[in-house]
Amino acid sequence: MLERGNTKQRDQLFDIIRSERSMTDTAMNRDPDAHILKACTTEEVNAYHVEATGASVTADSSVNLIHRYCEKLPGDKYFVPKPKFHISLIEGSYECKMTLPPNAAFQSIVGPSSRNSHLAKQLVCLEACKKLHQMGALDDHLLPSIKELPEKNLIVKSKESASGAGTTKRKELHGTTCIRALSGTWGEKVDGAIFQAYKFEFLCNIPGELYSGFVLLLETKLDDDVGNIELELYLVSKKVKSSVSFCGQVHLDAEQMTKAKCFQEFFFNGLFGRLFFGSKSAGTCREFLLKNETRSLWSPSNMYLLLPLETLNTSSPEPCQINWIGINSCISAVEIMKKRSLLGAEHCNGEKGNLSPYKNGSCSTNVIHFAYSMADTNNLKDMVVLAIHTGKIYSVVEVVNNTSAESPFDGNTDSASSKYMTFSEYFNKKYGITLMYPGQPLLRLKQSHNPHNLLVNFDEEGTTGKTLEAGVLVKKAQMHVHMPPELLIRLDVSRGVLRSFYLLPSVMHRLESLMLASQLREEICCSSNFHISSALILEALTTLRCSENFSMERLELLGDSVLKYAVGCHLFLKYPKKHEGQLTDIRVRVICNATLHKLGTDLKLQGYIRDSAFDPRRWVAPGQRSIRPVPCKCGVDTPEVPLDAKFHTEDPKVMIGSSCDKGHRWMSSKTIADCVEALIGAYYVGGGIIAALHLMKWLGIDAELDPSLVVEAITTASLRSYVPKDNEIATLESKLGYEFSVKGLLQEAITHASQQELGVGYCYQRLEYLGDSVLDLLITWHLYQCYTDIDPGLLLSQLTEYVKSISESHTDGSLQRPKGPKALGDMVESIAGAILLDTKLNLNEVWRIYKPLLSPIVTPDKLELHPFRKLNELCASRGYFIKEKFIKKGDMVHAELSLQLKDVLLIGEGYEGGKKIARGEAACRLLKELEKRGIVFSRSASKKRKLDADHIDSSTASYMEIDVCDQLTDENLSELAINKKRKSTKDQLPPESTSLSSPTNDCSNKDRSPDSGTPVIATINTKKGGPRTTLFELCKKVQWPMPTFNSTENKSRSPIEFGEGSEIRNGFNSFVSRISLHIPKFGSMECTGDARADKKSALDSAALVMLYELERQGKLVIGGS
């Protein structure tokens, strides 16, 4: 487009068109041989070329490259690394000497002579570029390689880890390592076998509650710290102290082994499984499990026996006497059941001709007829019996007088129903059994039940809804059954044996875990100079997901510090010419999660990790058939899963923890890296730094601390020529309370990088790098030892806050702690590094000197958390949401935090040089305003809210957290915030908007609401947890306070039907939840949900009712409605 009448623009356009046509014509009509290049007659001698990449640098560009290299070196606001040039005129030629910063690959170089000073400067830079490339400080592209990788096999003897390895987001499928100590070949021996015997003894804290002893028979002898342990078992209203001890060897002949196996098959299947399989309703023949060969129930990889012991007999010379009387009784019962299943007998009692006095309902004798035996009524209490028609095991509670098989059927048996008139009719129609003694009184029997996880003391976990729903804290009424005695086979075992059976899964689970830990210890092959207990290794292998009273968290924190120190110290000694930035980068690469993950998986560490809570219902003893199978659908035939990308996923729907029957389970990739750190921590606790270094060597981490390198570093420091002012060293030593053997180390520790202008060729940065890891380890170790019972998260907070107070006080946003120069914190760390070298790596001596200097060391009760964390936890405990906004204005950051209470919108502002500091300042002002309103931070409140989050649901608890926006942009961020506000409701304007004013006007006084406009949500997900999730997201979006729930439980003796269609459920308990939601400037709303079979479904029902009520009130638009 041209301006009309503008001849100048027109002529320019025509010139462009003519030029374009001329260029096109020339290109089309040129000589085809004209493209051949002629040899260049001018030779560029002042250049350096890299053959591998073709990169080159000339004398002219070398000056800029040297400046770029120096810019990448470590510096601060007091010191900017840059080269210095000194030009001399010698015999008519110029010669330039360049001095690089002390943390460069080399310090000085002299260039060739030149005809002028400018060219001399270029030539010395060109020579420096050559030397830097040859030394590896410049890569093959002639770019500063500050972030260089270690040489091959230098630190980590493995290839670089795959992308995403070691992260929480990535989930990986892994197998479970087989426990070698449980395997055995004795099952095939026909002439008997010798077993290693381990005695189980149980002592209840309630007098009179007796538990029978058991013996574990294994083919392999266990380590002493595995086979001799004590542990507490926590039942609903009592505790049982269990002890395991080695009691020598036991020989069983072939017949005894057969009987022992049969006993184990009978009891474990009868109590925790089923002795009958198949049913008419399923179209399969009902069959007795032990009727035929049972070899399929036993596996060589899981071969051991658990047998009851005789009551303690002090006169017996044997340490453990197996209760063969009880075992033989069970064998007889099994033989009876086999015969019945073969004959299909309708009658249960073998005494067909023997008529009972009870036949006509009279009660003239104390004899009770059981199946194939009789007993006195006075000896029935606590008798253990087997029901011949179901294969279930019971214990007798009492004889129910004035009842008989002709009594009205109340449905209170093993199968509730209302279509039978009498007990006789029920057993005849359902099982085809005709009772021979219908006049006998019925027996009230205590049913067997599922085993429970008795390793966790739920009384200390708090009475949350989660534990209540798990049925652990709620003591339910015991369910008894009434049954004619002639349907029962007497078992000559005590009720104490029955009681002990329910303890065995938990005891064996702990033993199996210790066996696995001991097996890993054997793989690591410890030195005889130190002993790491199996319990400590087990702690390092156990994640929080296991819900044990121990986990790897504390050891992981310690191991991280040990690893950081060991690798850092090794690099410091091995590379005396590398500066702090290079050492830090190499260390980061060595100790990063991706590297640790690769090291762990190479050694198959993932198979040892325990990452799911013990489920005793899926625990299976040898000889037991699982009634809760989880067939493998993982696509892997072997127990071990290949390290292949197809077994990696980031799908949030994939559940972590639970395993299939082959032991395959999904695991967070980061868990493996955490376990590596925890193991390092465990070895440090058990054997000090020597044991930790031994483990690192096994892992493939080269962190050896060579004494000769320590001597070399000390010798180098002793040759320092620079002498500071008089008495500086002596004064500082006096304050430290330590006299250096090598004064040069202290000189280096207090020399700032800017001192190179005075000709000093060293500074404190390398020692600061070393001292940082030393103090980190010493403080972590101190906190680990002193506070054994505190939460690992709190331990980490203590460490973070305290280390921050030492080295980063200049960046703290608390507005309370005095700010100091960064160099001061750096010097504290560098002196620690100097003392470490001077004492030849004596950590105890460094701690002796530094402990008084660092006192008072923070304690859990005096821990001062960061203001934003305080605000975060306070709002989480109250159900409030925070919104953040950051605006960068030049070098300053404006942070604005808005917090909606029930009646007011609080806005806190902060202006600082960094985002975190500005946010901390704004949080401080919000905390002060909340304190004026009586809302004060309390750790107990924060902990209670955490429990409440678990109470609601793990899938929705995340929506109770604070909304954090971490993106820092320029002025247009405020526009984004305004646009977001248009998505919310007008009716949510608060009655007032309070500004947290200050003399510097740090808080705005704007009358505004969190949002404006009616919020719109998608169609509500009605699956479990869906309505709550939708409601919590809504509250988070518009900054309404979190709703509160109040649930009521109603119990019924008759079944209650819940739901409709395919969702119909029956139960004896119903839950109804009432929800309350406060909307600013509108008021509170309360709704009640429908009755549901469980508490979480009741919460969902109440949330759903609230969502529809909000829509009716015009506060919400639901998509699709």
pLDDT digits (tens, 9 = 90+) for 682-710: 999 999 999 999 999 999 999 999 999 99
Residues 1107 and 172: their CA atoms lie apart, in Å, by 38
Instruction: End-to-end CA distance of the chain: give it in Å, rounded.
Output: 54
Residues 394 and 479: their CA atoms lie apart, in Å, by 12
Interstrand relation of 904-912 and 992-995 (parallel, antiparallel or unpaired): parallel
Q: Which residues are registered as beta bridge partners of 287?
A: 277
Residues 566 and 777: their CA atoms lie apart, in Å, by 10
Residues 6+ apart with CB under 8 A from 774: 565, 829, 832, 833, 836, 843, 846
Interstrand relation of 1016-1017 and 1117-1118 (parallel, antiparallel or unpaired): parallel
Residues 871 and 853: their CA atoms lie apart, in Å, by 31
Residue 60 annotated as catalytic: no
Alpha helices in 719-866 (DSSP H): 728-736, 743-749, 765-786, 792-807, 822-838, 843-854
- Mean pLDDT by runs of 10 across the 1121 residues of the chain is 83 84 78 53 69 90 92 77 90 90 84 91 94 90 67 44 77 94 89 94 92 95 95 92 95 94 95 85 79 90 95 65 94 91 52 40 69 89 92 93 88 57 89 90 91 83 40 53 93 93 96 96 81 94 91 93 96 90 90 94 94 92 92 89 90 86 93 96 94 94 93 88 68 89 88 68 86 93 85 66 55 49 82 94 94 79 76 82 84 85 84 84 89 76 44 38 35 33 32 37 40 74 84 86 88 68 69 89 88 87 90 83 57
Confidence at residue 26, expressed as pLDDT on a 0 to 100 scale: 78
Cα–Cα distances in Å, from 909 out to 722, 923, 937, 1002? 49, 8, 20, 5
Confidence at residue 1058, expressed as pLDDT on a 0 to 100 scale: 72
Report the interhelical angle of 843-854 vs 765-786 (nearest 10°): 80
Q: Which residues are registered as beta bridge partners of 56?
A: 49
- Strand segments, DSSP code E, in 235-304 are 239-252, 276-277, 287-288
Q: Catalytic residue among 829, 912, 921, 948, which?
A: 829
Alpha helices in 281-356 (DSSP H): 324-343
Which domains are assigned to the chain? 47-135 (3.30.160.380), 171-175+523-616+628-699 (1.10.1520.10), 180-344 (no CATH), 358-410+423-462+478-495 (2.170.260.10), 707-789+812-862 (1.10.1520.10), 865-1009 (3.30.160.20), 1014-1121 (3.30.160.20)
Residue 772 annotated as catalytic: yes
Residues 746 and 767: their CA atoms lie apart, in Å, by 10
Q: What is the pLDDT of residues 998-1040, one digit of tens each?
A: 333 344 434 334 445 788 887 787 788 888 988 888 888 888 8
Q: State what percent of residues in the chain have pLDDT above 90.
A: 41
Residues 289 and 265: their CA atoms lie apart, in Å, by 9
Residues 665 and 655: their CA atoms lie apart, in Å, by 9
Confidence at residue 493, expressed as pLDDT on a 0 to 100 scale: 93
Per-residue 3-state assignment (H helix, E strand, C coil) for 889-949: ECCEEEEEEEEECCCEEEEEEEEECCHHHHHHHHHHHHHHHHHHCCCCCCHHHHHHHHHHH
Q: Provide the token pair at 1075.
A: 């929800």
Q: Catalytic residue among 172, 548, 580, 772, which?
A: 772
Q: Provide the token pair at 596.
A: 């640790």
Q: Provide the token pair at 602.
A: 């190479």
Residues 631 and 193: their CA atoms lie apart, in Å, by 34
Beta carbons within 10 angstroms of residue 406's beta carbon? 15
Q: Identify the sign of the CA torsion 363, 364, 366, 371.
A: negative
Interstrand relation of 367-370 and 480-483 (parallel, antiparallel or unpaired): unpaired
Do 444 and 482 touch, CB atoms closer than 8 A? Answer: yes
Q: Provide the token pair at 1107.
A: 């969502």
Residues 996 and 1010: their CA atoms lie apart, in Å, by 16
Residues 114 and 122: their CA atoms lie apart, in Å, by 10
Query: What average pLDDT does the chain have?
Result: 81
One-letter amino acid at 2 equals L
- DSSP reduced 3-state for 604: coil
Q: Which residues are registered as beta bridge partners of 214?
A: 200, 308
Query: Alpha-carbon dihedral of residues 729, 730, 731, 734, nearest 10 degrees?
Result: 120
Do 288 and 298 touch, CB atoms closer than 8 A? Answer: no
* Cα–chain center distance at 51: 49
pTM: 0.76
By the 10 Å C-beta count (0-12 exposed, 13-18 middle, 19+ buried), 62 is classed as buried
Residues 873 and 942: their CA atoms lie apart, in Å, by 6
